Amino acid sequence: MKIILGNSHPQSLFAQRIEALSRQKLFACYQCGKCSSGCPMAESMDLLPNRVIREAQLNNEPALMSCRAVWFCSSCFACAVRCPKGIDIARIMEAVRTLQMMDGKSITEKPSCEDNGTLPQIALISHFRKFNM
């Protein structure tokens, strides 16, 4: 199967929407994985940050519109400072969250009380913000 990557392809509408919302260049990512290896929330994510970007590059709307990882991103920017391509992954996570909310989806999974002792503090603050919208 031939896979075409690029935001100018007519079938890349979903990727284009994410780029427009996040103002990040999705196709600059070459999948080195440094973002995911430094993400403090990786263990709670169903898709790792680099995989979120890959699915966006592939225009995989179903995968991202049901992705819970974007709700667990705490916008800590650890990924952004590690990215050799200068991509602000937190903004991409935020863009996918926004698209999910525009589609009528709400938070699909909240952190449980048991998580409170293990999650980084920044994650708890971030979750309070998201879950009070």
Interface contacts to ligand SF4, rule CB under 6 A: 29-35, 39-41, 49-50, 53, 73-79, 82-85, 87, 89-90, 93
Q: How far is the CB of 97 from ligand SF4 (least distance, A)?
A: 11
Q: How far is the CB of 104 from ligand SF4 (least distance, A)?
A: 24
Residue 65 or 76: the one with the smaller Cβ distance to ligand SF4 is 76
Buried-state track 9-30, b at ≥16 Cβ within 10 A, e below 16: eeebebbebbbebbebebbebe
Query: CA-CA distance, 75 to 91, in Å (whole number)?
Result: 8
Residue 6 or 84: the one with the smaller Cβ distance to ligand SF4 is 84
Q: Are 50 and 33 in contact (CB under 8 A)?
A: yes
Q: Are 25 and 81 in contact (CB under 8 A)?
A: no
Q: How far is the CB of 79 from ligand SF4 (least distance, A)?
A: 3
Residue 17 or 39: the one with the smaller Cβ distance to ligand SF4 is 39
